[in-house]
Structure 1
């Protein structure tokens, strides 16, 4: 079987790692898999093709902000991709993310409809059923066609012009007639939301994200050197947070920093900041890293992993932590809770009356209690890891996708 895997990234970021895992396993299994991706470094491996043009991506991002439209300012990159598909002639295309300013979505889908190439599409966020938003939060405007977007300046960003109603109408038209065999979501939360949209009539399935649990994400020995490097006492309790652009409002880094102020006897490390620096006596910020081995060392060194994102589908960071034997605490938002069911994780949702400050203080207090609850369970790293490997090894993910491909 000839399969083309299509994404914004390759080998890097959660979706890029998933795509690369599927690519490796398909080829090892005797299939001919290729990857076409739009952004990032050029990867010098056979059957991997970067079709995106960097200067065009920058232009696309700028025009999207000015005009309010997106997914329509990359003609050269899109032409590169379409020609690559024509040359490869795949039996099936597995699409992951198409936002991020690197492809003309309507033009690509028109070509796929003309060719009637079978498509499997993994939704890693809400983008394909909203006007422009990767996450809709509490907004349900997409159910009535979008417009008057409350998150106009959030990614995918527009400075002032609201084209969300037009964009959603264009997506609906572009998806109509596509030879779409399955929509896959990593979480039940996103599957349930997708079923409430114009896409409800499709075959919608849940396949959890998988990772490399043997070669990268496994428990490492406790390492005094990594603590010493950043001035973290060897005997201090350590709580870790990891996210790209972790101090972005959606990723919740500021909440972790504020929580740290209420827990002066606990050390906090946040990976994914703009720069590496000591933020305060018990908070260390570390710049975003592509070094997966370094991340695994931090996961293993931590007593607990914390995630305070406002919106996530099925965050890979949580399952990476579990595979390294580290339990999880966080906010019960979107699909995050599904990654670490009790007793491997504890999640909080604060539903109280009061203004924002009152609710925020209550959330910090609830997180403190959740940390005590989770650490009080006394789970061993082996127990946590065994659950994670059984559910999140990339071999499990691959078998589930292969079943869909074969059908």
Structure 2
């Protein structure tokens, strides 16, 4: 079985973590998997490329930078791979039994070109919808906007990622649906969350849709298992309390509530730990750890904290929540689709408001769902529900089903 994974990044962001872990897991069980990615540092090679087997870069710096500039004006990518990179990608598609798409927006490939190439090669497609981009005319995170349900146009959120100056969302909406129809008979869409899966089924009734939750990557899970947790009840210390915030971009207000965090920093004994780039927070009680790729180091930093915050308004899953819980660290999150997707399945209720989070930390208390639980029990519940091996098995079942159907057609 030959599988080709395609994602914008090799190791940055939640989608990349999932895609790369799946790629590595497939190779360990004897499946031939290749990983094609768009770009890494400053549009060039990823720092991790030399450590990953069977991976190659699709984008060149010139292609990525040009697409970035063009996309910021017009809202879509203009250029696809060229030269040797183009030939290598087309050959990989030709050799694949299944092409597995992940995130294909963000400046590295013209989506109509890649879907045409796959359709021409008559290859089955698994497409993991890590966000709403498949359903919209332009953006990847819809927030409170519902215009995508009627074909977009007059986009009210042109700054929403990936941002644009001019609005061609209505045209792009039609183009996406047209190209999706070209591969729909040979396509399985996978959603990490049940609410997004329901939207996909509603909007694309002729497409096979499955729900496979995101999971802990193997290296992170192994690091957690090797990190011995104290078998004591979870509680917030009455003295200093270490609060964790994790985001790829800490300056993104759609994911990180700055006002909440500033209010918490004004409380006595609160220390903030951040993981991610572009932290807007500073001070004697702030520890910005920056981007952390080493999973052992990440587990160490998370485990050193007393509580983790999740304030994203746009995530479709919230991988950072299960990473914190896997380290035995309780999560405080206000109600959102992503928070409810993860926490309610663990019988933990999101809180009602940001004011509630402030009061809980001020009074050094936690929601009742954490009472009489230990860090170890939190970790066990995450391993059972979001361990890496079950997800890989589910994807392999989908691959086999598509390959079998393609041979019969």
Distance 1:92 1:110 in 2: 15
Partner of 1:20: 20
Distance 2:341 2:162 in 1: 26
Per mean C-alpha deviation after superposition, the further-off stretch among 32-41 and 68-77 is: 68-77
1:373 equivalent in alignment to 2:376: no
Distance 2:34 2:56 in 1: 8
Per mean C-alpha deviation after superposition, the further-off stretch among 208-217 and 150-159 is: 208-217
**Residue 335 of structure 1: SS of its match in structure 2?**
helix
Unaligned runs of 5+ in 2: 231-236, 402-409
Partner of 1:9: 9
1:142 equivalent in alignment to 2:148: yes
Partner of 2:275: 271
From 284, 288, 293, the counterpart of 1:290: 293
Partner of 1:387: 381
1:250 equivalent in alignment to 2:254: yes
How far did 1:289 drift? 2.6
Q: Is the 8 A contact 1:207 1:397 kept in 2?
A: yes
From 103, 107, 111, the counterpart of 1:105: 111
Q: Is the 8 A contact 2:248 2:277 kept in 1?
A: yes
Distance 2:290 2:27 in 1: 34
For normalisation by structure 2, the TM-score amounts to 0.85
Distance 2:318 2:396 in 1: 22
For normalisation by structure 1, the TM-score amounts to 0.86
Partner of 1:347: 350
Would the alpha carbon gap of residues 274 and 222 (structure 1) be closer, same or farther in structure 2, given more than 3 Å must change? farther
Give the root-mean-square deviation of aligned CA atoms.
Answer: 2.5
1:170 equivalent in alignment to 2:163: no
**Residues 180-206 of structure 1: CA distance to partner in whole angstroms, max 9, x if unpaired?**
331111111211222232x23211111
Distance 1:256 1:297 in 2: 25
Q: Is the 8 A contact 2:7 2:37 kept in 1?
A: yes
Q: How many residues align?
A: 380
Q: Is the 8 A contact 1:128 1:171 kept in 2?
A: yes
Partner of 1:305: 308
Distance 2:281 2:96 in 1: 50
Q: Is the 8 A contact 1:36 1:50 kept in 2?
A: yes
How far did 1:335 drift? 2.0
Per mean C-alpha deviation after superposition, the further-off stretch among 207-216 and 110-119 is: 207-216
How far did 1:388 drift? 0.3
Unaligned runs of 5+ in 1: 224-232, 350-362
Per mean C-alpha deviation after superposition, the further-off stretch among 41-50 and 385-394 is: 41-50
How far did 1:385 drift? 0.5
Would the alpha carbon gap of residues 340 and 219 (structure 1) be closer, same or farther in structure 2, given more than 3 Å must change? farther
**Residue 294 of structure 1: SS of its match in structure 2?**
helix
